[in-house]
Structure formats: structure tokens, C-alpha cells
């Protein structure tokens, strides 16, 4: 039992540092030794806990990336308010490297999706599944928003979700270097513009 704790602690350290370095340098561009040296651990320790580099990264996805995406992008959608400002706020938050989001997790999804696409079916499948959950939650929030009179009746909720996700993922390619405040601001402004065009406008009110 005490041993299990030691095991968990080492695995946790490995996953945390792994995500940090994989995110900074890319999965295929990072060797296990890069990570192990940082933690003063050996190959032997690593393979005692994980059966392969792939198994290791899957652990990272399941334990860290999934959690972060849920916390930043999915749980905030569980609301009864007007969906549009809620969605904007969640995206703004996810793209903002600071406080609750020190590692710029908003950037990870597109990076890893592209890196594993066509190179590792297993991992890219899991990442796509995360996107899928996000999309489902966006769509259902938007549909509720339509029923509640926040969103115009003619709007295609699936289409909106697709468009929001695409633009969010794409920002990564533009924000590569430096957390460019200007670009982030432009993005949020245009998103607001777009959302304004699908909002229900109660002319009567």
C-alpha cells in the first residue's frame, strides 16, 4: 500500500514533466532521456512504470489533457445562462496563458492532433474523441440556448459548433510564437461579431 503511493507519485511526476516537454518540443522530437534527465530518473525506472513511450503518452492524455480540456472548455458549458457569452468566456480563458492556465493548454489540442494524425491511430483517436465530446456539449448548449430564446431560430447549431472549434484550433497556428495579445484580441472580437449575428434580437423588447 505504501509502495503504491511511491509508484503513483513517480508516475505523476513523469506525466507532469512529460506533458510540459512534449508540449514545448513535440512528442516525436522529445526523447525519453530528455524527460528522465530533468527528473534524475533512469530508463529502468521509466520502463518499470510504463510499458512504452506510447503507453506513457496515453496516460498523459487520459490523466492530464482530458482533465484540462474538461475544466477549461467543457464544464463551463454547463450553465443556464445565455450560451454565447459563456462560450466566448471559456475560449478567452483557454487561450490565456496565466493563472489557472499556466501552460497554455488551449494550444495543446491542435498541436497534438496534427502531430499524431496518420502517425499513431490510437492516440489520434483519443484526441479526436476529446474534440468530439467538446462538440457534443457545444451543440447541446447551443440548442438549449435556442429554446431559451437566446439564439435565432434559423441557426444551425452543429454548424456553429464546427465553426467555433475550427477557428479556435486554427488560432494555434497563428499564435505559435509569443502569446500575441493582439491576435487573441482580434479573434475574440470577431467571434463576438459572429455570435452577434446568430443571437436572437428581440426587436420588440
Partner DNA sequence: AAACCAACCGACTTACAAGTCGGTTTAAGG
Partner DNA sequence: CCTTAAACCGACTTGTAAGTCGGTTGGTTT
Which residues make up the interface to a second copy (CB under 8 A)? Answer: 24-26, 28-29, 109-111, 113-115, 117-119, 124, 128, 131, 156, 158-160, 162-163, 165-174, 176, 183, 186-187, 189-191, 193-194, 196-198
**Distance, C-alpha 166 to centroid of its chain:** 13
Residue 32's binding partner out of DNA, a second copy, none, with CB under 5 to 8 Å set by partner kind: DNA
Question: Which pairs from 135-141 meet CB under 8 Å and 24+ separation?
Answer: 135/161, 135/162, 135/165, 137/74, 137/77, 138/77, 138/87, 138/164, 138/165, 141/77, 141/79, 141/83, 141/86, 141/87
Element (H, E) at 58: helix 53-60
Residue 103 in contact with DNA, rule: CB under 7 A? no
Nearest-angstrom CA–CA distance, 150 and 127? 31
Stretch that binds DNA, among 34-42, 94-102, 153-161, 166-174 (CB under 7 A): 34-42
Name which of 46 and 195 has its Cβ closer to DNA. Answer: 46
Question: Least separation, in Å, of the C-beta of 90 and a second copy?
Answer: 16
Among 15, 18, 23, 41, binds DNA (CB under 7 A): 41
Cell numbers describing residue 38: 530533468
Which residue number, 57 or 168, has a Cβ lying nearer to DNA? Answer: 57
Taking CB within 5 to 8 Å according to partner kind, which of DNA, a second copy, none is near residue 12?
Answer: none
CB of 20 vs DNA, minimal distance in Å:
16
Least distance in Å: CB of 32 to DNA? 4
Q: At what angle do helices 181-198 and 157-174 cross, to 10 degrees?
A: 170
Distances (CA, A) of 104 to 8, 76, 133, 200: 25, 17, 20, 33
Residues making contact with DNA (CB under 7 A)? 1-4, 6-7, 10, 30-33, 40-45, 47-49, 52-54
Amino acid at each position: 500500500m505504501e509502495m503504491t503511493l511511491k509508484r503513483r507519485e513517480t508516475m505523476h511526476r513523469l506525466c507532469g514533466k512529460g506533458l510540459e516537454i512534449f508540449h514545448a518540443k513535440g512528442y516525436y522530437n522529445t526523447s525519453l532521456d530528455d524527460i528522465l534527465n530533468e527528473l534524475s530518473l533512469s530508463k529502468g525506472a521509466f520502463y518499470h512504470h510504463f510499458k512504452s513511450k506510447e503507453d506513457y503518452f496515453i496516460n498523459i492524455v487520459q490523466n492530464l489533457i482530458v482533465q484540462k480540456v474538461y475544466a477549461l472548455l467543457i464544464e463551463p458549458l454547463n450553465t443556464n445562462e445565455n450560451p454565447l457569452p459563456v462560450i466566448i468566456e471559456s475560449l478567452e480563458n483557454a487561450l490565456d496563458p496565466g493563472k489557472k492556465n499556466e501552460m497554455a493548454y488551449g494550444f495543446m489540442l491542435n498541436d497534438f492532433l496534427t502531430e499524431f494524425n496518420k502517425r499513431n491511430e490510437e492516440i489520434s483517436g483519443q484526441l479526436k474523441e476529446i474534440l468530439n465530446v467538446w462538440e457534443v456539449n457545444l451543440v447541446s448548449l447551443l440548442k438549449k440556448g435556442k429554446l431559451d430564446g437566446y439564439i435565432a431560430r434559423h441557426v444551425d447549431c452543429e454548424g456553429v459548433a464546427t465553426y467555433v472549434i475550427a477557428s479556435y484550433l486554427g488560432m494555434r497556428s497563428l499564435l505559435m510564437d509569443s502569446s500575441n495579445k493582439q491576435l487573441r484580441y482580434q479573434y475574440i472580437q470577431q467571434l463576438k461579431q459572429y455570435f452577434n449575428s446568430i443571437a436572437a434580437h428581440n426587436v420588440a423588447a
